[in-house]
Amino acid sequence: MFIRTDDKITAAQTAVFLNNTLLGAGILTLPRSVSQTVKTPDAWISVLLGGVIVMLAVLVMVKISQQFPGQTVFQYAGRLTGRFIGGALSLLLILYFITIAGFEIRTLAEVTLFFLLEGTPIWAVILPFLWLSTYLVSGGINSIARVYTIVFPISIMILLISFLLSLRIFDIEHLRPVLGNGVAPVFAGLKSTVLIFTGCEVTMTLVAFMQDPKQAVKAILGGLAVLMGIYLLTVVIVIGGISIGSASTSTWPTIDLMRSFEVPGFFFERMEFPFMVIWLMQMFCNFSSFFFQASLGLSQIFKLKVHPIIYALVPLLFISAMVPKSLSDLFALGDAIGRMGVVLFLLVPVLLSIVWLIRAKGLKQHV
C-alpha cells in the first residue's frame, strides 16, 4: 500500500472514521440509559427511531458541507456569517469536542480501574493513552484513518463473538410484549438514544477531507447505518440476555451481560476481558478523533500551525478528563454533552444552512 500525503480519505475510510468516532463508551452504558427511560422492552424501537432522526440531522450537515468543497466547518462558518460569529460558533464546537474527548478517556479509565486494574492510579491509565493519541493525531487524518481501518474490524469481530456466545442466556420473553404500553415509552427513550450519537458533528469536517465529496451522503449515512445496527444489536442482546430490570440497575450492563455466562473449554472462558481490552482501543479511537477535531479547529480559526496546538491541548485534555469527581458526575457530564449536542446542532448546521439559503438562494450572493 502506498502512503498518501495529500490529507484525503476515501469513502470507505470516511465511514469507518465516523464509526470509530461515535462507537465507544456508549455501547457500555446505552442499555442502561435506554432501559431507564423507556422502562418497557421496546427500548430497541427507540434506538431505531433515534438513529433515523440523527441520520436526518447528519444529512443537513453533509449538505451544507458539500456547498464548500475542501473546507471544514471552521472555515466556512466564518465565510457565511462573518469572522466574529463564525469564530464564536467554531469555538463552541471546539469546546464541545474537548469536553467529549475528556469524557471518553475518563470513561475508559473508569472501566479499566473498576474491572481490570484495581489499584492503579487514574493518571497512570490516562497519560499513556493521551501520549499515544498525541502521536497519532500529529500524523494527520491519513494516519488516523489507517489506524481506524485496522482497529474497526477487530473490535467488531470481538463484539460479535461475545454477543454470539451470550446467546446461551438469551430469552426472547425478555423482549416481549412489543409496544405493550403504547408508543409513549418509545418516544421517552429518544432522549437517551439520540444522545449516543453525540459527536456526529465531526461530519462537518470529515466531508472536507473526502477525496470525492460527491460520495459524502453515501459514505456518512452508510457509516451511521452500521453504527445504528451495532447499537440495535447491543440493546436487543443485552435486554434479551439479562432483562430490562437487570439492565437498568447495572452500571455497565453490557459488561455485566458478558459476566453473566462462562464458556468452559473455549479459548477464553470469560468474554468480558477480551471484550474490554479490545473496547479500550475503540475508546482510544473516539478520543483521538475529538482530539484531532479540536486541534484542527483551533489551527484553522487562528491560522496557526497544527503541531504546537496539539501539544498545547494535551494538558487541557488531561484536565478535562479529570474534572468529573465521581462516576455519577461522569454520567451527568455525559447527559450534559448530549444536551449540548442538540443545542449545537441547532446553532451550527441549522443556522448555517438557513444563512446559506438566504444568501445564496434568496439574495443570489456568491459565497
Partner 1 sequence: MCRRILVLLSSLMILATQTSCWSSKEIEDLALYAGLALDTAELSPTEQKLEEQGSTYTKRNRITATVQVVPANSVGGIESTDGSVSPYMNVTGTGDSVLEIFRQYSILRERPIIGHHLKVIVVSSELLKQQSMNQLMDFVLRDNDIRPSTMVFISHGRAEETMISKQKGVIPAFHIRDMMRNQKRTSKVLAPVILSKLDSFMYSKRSYALQNLVTANGEVEFSGAGVIKGNTGHWVGALSQEDTECLSWLTNRGQSGVIKTYDWSNEPITYEVKSLKSKITAKVDGDHLSFDVKLTTEGRLSETWNEEEYPAATHLPQKAEKLFNKRLEQMMQSLFHKLQSDYKADAIGFSSMLKIQEPALWRKLEDHWDEVFSRTPIHLEVDLKITDFGSFTL
Paired with 9 in beta bridges are 210
Q: Give the one residue of 83, 181, 225, 336 binding partner 1; rule: CB under 8 A.
A: 181
Say whether residue 173 binds partner 1 (CB under 8 A). yes
Say whether residue 82 binds partner 1 (CB under 8 A). no
Distances from the Cα of 4 to the Cα of 7, 248, 314, 320, angstroms: 7, 46, 27, 33
> How many other C-beta atoms can be found within 10 angstroms of the C-beta atom of residue 159?
21
User: Is-contact 208 72, C-beta < 8 A?
Assistant: yes
Please name the helix (run of DSSP H) or strand (run of DSSP E) that holds residue 84, with its range, or none.
helix 83-111
Q: How far is the CB of 176 from partner 1 (least distance, A)?
A: 5
Q: Of the two residues 100 and 258, which places its CB atom closer to partner 1 in the complex?
A: 258
Eight-state DSSP code of residue 2: P
C-alpha closest to that of 29 among 247, 270, 184:
247
Binding residues for partner 1, rule CB under 8 A, total 30
Q: Give the one residue of 28, 57, 93, 244 binding partner 1; rule: CB under 8 A.
A: 244
Q: How far is the CB of 41 from partner 1 (least distance, A)?
A: 9
Say whether residue 260 binds partner 1 (CB under 8 A). yes
Say whether residue 37 binds partner 1 (CB under 8 A). no
C-alpha closest to that of 75 among 102, 100, 93:
93
Q: How far is the CB of 272 from partner 1 (least distance, A)?
A: 8
Say whether residue 42 binds partner 1 (CB under 8 A). no
Say whether residue 243 binds partner 1 (CB under 8 A). yes
Say whether residue 327 binds partner 1 (CB under 8 A). no
Collect all residues with Cβ–Cβ distance below 8 Å to 23 and sequence separation of at least 6.
155, 227, 230, 282, 286
Q: Give the one residue of 246, 282, 288, 289 binding partner 1; rule: CB under 8 A.
A: 246
Say whether residue 72 binds partner 1 (CB under 8 A). no
| Secondary structure (H, E, C), 92-127 | HHHHHHHHHHHHHHHHHHHHHHHHHCCCCCHHHHHH
Say whether residue 273 binds partner 1 (CB under 8 A). no
Q: How far is the CB of 248 from partner 1 (least distance, A)?
A: 7
> How many other C-beta atoms can be found within 10 angstroms of the C-beta atom of residue 221?
17
Say whether residue 245 binds partner 1 (CB under 8 A). yes
- The whole-angstrom separation of Cα 108 and Cα 126 is 8
Say whether residue 180 binds partner 1 (CB under 8 A). yes
Q: Of the two residues 51 and 185, which places its CB atom closer to partner 1 in the complex?
A: 185
Q: Give the one residue of 139, 153, 177, 315 binding partner 1; rule: CB under 8 A.
A: 177
Which of 55-63, 194-202, 252-260, 337-345 is the region at the interface with partner 1 (rule: CB under 8 A)? 252-260
Q: How far is the CB of 182 from partner 1 (least distance, A)?
A: 9
Cell numbers that stand for 239 in this block: 435486554
- The whole-angstrom separation of Cα 33 and Cα 328 is 13
DSSP string for residues in 173-214: GGG-STTTT-SHHHHHHHHHHHHTTTTGGGHHHHGGGBSSGG
Binding to partner 1 by CB under 8 A, coded x per residue (else -) over 92-131, reads: ----------------------xx-xxxxx--x-------
Contacts with partner 1 by CB under 8 A lie at: 114-115, 117-121, 124, 169, 173, 176-177, 180-181, 242-246, 248-250, 256-257, 259-262, 264, 270
